[in-house]
Each structure stands twice: as structure tokens, then as C-alpha cells.
Amino acid sequence: MVAAIIQARMGSSRFPGKSARLLSGHSILEHIIIRLQQVPEIDLIQLATTRAKSEAPLIEIAKNHGVAVFQGDEKNVLERFIQAGETIKAQHIVRVCGDNPIIDISLLRSLIHAHIDSNADYTICGDSIPLGTGSEVVRLEALKEISKQAEDSRYREHVTTWFYDHFDKFEISRVDAPPYLKNCPFRLTVDTPEDFALMEKIFSQHKSPSPIDLKEVINFLESHPEIASINAQIDQIDWRTKKQ
């Protein structure tokens, strides 16, 4: 069974409450859920959040959309994912960040197919793509193996970091990015007010009720460099590869 687990919480040092903020009348979390619902390969969607009372808005959003909810440890996100996956009997988990309202649907479907077909432990995009457009697929049993060995806090706070330091220990599958995303320089996540300002510009251009097409977003930003520059100066720490 393939489950998409959305990692989200209201607390954020850079932009608190970001997953509940509205874009064109829907919260960021809702936009993520709606996009995941367009992926037939996903059997179930689950929100994995913390036990804090402040998570109530996210829990309400999830339940209103028929999404399962799991509340676990705030810091030990690895264990939160394992426990969340176990409660819904997931075999494979699509890990989705709660600040990425326009993950690419086509790429996500390719990742799931490659993961299942190759019997991989972990599947990622093999190309450089805009931050916020990708996702990753991991076998639940592989996360359990990591949990037995990982003691450093960075491996427990950032679910898949262990794979990047131990590639030779697992079956890793890499998928080519769609041409419109490959080596594209834009930043399409929401981690700061500047990121949110860019998303507001993107969503203001989208009039159709259907989920935003990433090709259209890329074309829009390429033809409007002044808009693309809104968050271009934001630095992003890659916790998957950062050594401590």
C-alpha cells in the first residue's frame, strides 16, 4: 500500500503557521491534499503532525478533506513517520513537506512507479529541480532499519538524511525530471514571507479550478523575472547533505 504522508506543523522559526495560510481561498495544506488526490497511485493520504494543541487548525483541515491524522513527536520526525505509517499499514511512503503547495504531479507519479518497479528502498529525482516541486518515496521497512542505527539528532529530525550518508547500504532509485523542471532555478516552497509573496503572485494568475500546472508556472516565472526575483535571495540549508 502506498501512502502519502504530509509532514506539517504550525510552529516554524522562519514563518509560523505557514501550512494554514491561504492562497486563492485555500490553505497551503489544502492545495497539497488536492494535488495528492490527483495521483491514482496513492492509496491513502495522511497528515503527520505533532502533539501540540496548536496543530488544531491543520488537523481540522485534514479531517475536512477525509485525510487521516497522526500526531507524534515534534523533534523525532523519523519515529513520527514510522509510527504514522504503521497505523495505516503502509508499505511505501511518499514523503511530502507541508510547505510545498505545487509539487509536480507528473514527477510524483513517475517516482512511485519507479520505486515499485525497482523494489527500491528509497526513490528520488536524480536531477536538479526547483525546491518545493519534488517529493520522495521510501519503503517503511527501510525507515525502521534506519531507526535502529541512527542516533544523531539530524537523522531523526530530517527523515531521509541517513540515505545520503549511506547510499551504498540501500537500493536507491533515481528518476529523470520532466524537461520543464530540469535545472530550473526557481524556489517554489513556502518557508519565508518572501516565498509566500511569490506564491501569491503565482496563484493570482491561476483562474481554473483545477490544480496548477507546473509547466505554466515555469513559463510564467521565466517571462516575469521581476516576480521570480521576489525570493531569489533566500538561502536554503539542505539538511540531507549538511554535515554536523
Please write the tens of the pLDDT for every residue from 147-166. 898 777 777 777 888 898 88
Domain ranges, residue 164 = 2-231
Look at residue 238 in the predicted model and tell me its pLDDT: 52
Cα separation, 201 vs 94, in Å, equals: 28
Domain assignment present for 242? no
Domain assignment present for 40? yes
Domain assignment present for 64? yes
Look at residue 236 in the predicted model and tell me its pLDDT: 61
Domain assignment present for 243? no
Look at residue 239 in the predicted model and tell me its pLDDT: 47
Domain assignment present for 241? no
H or E stretch at 148: helix 140-149
Look at residue 237 in the predicted model and tell me its pLDDT: 55
Count of domains forming the chain: 1
Per-run averaged pLDDT (10 residues), the chain, 244 residues:
96 87 95 97 98 96 97 92 97 97 97 97 97 97 90 77 88 97 96 96 84 95 96 71 41
Domain assignment present for 205? yes
Look at residue 121 in the predicted model and tell me its pLDDT: 97
Closest CA to 110 of 92, 136, 85: 136
Q: What is the pTM of this model?
A: 0.92
Domain assignment present for 240? no
Domain assignment present for 239? no
- CATH number for the domain spanning 127: value is 3.90.550.10
**Exposed/middle/buried for 119, CB within 10 Å: 0-12, 13-18, 19+?**
exposed
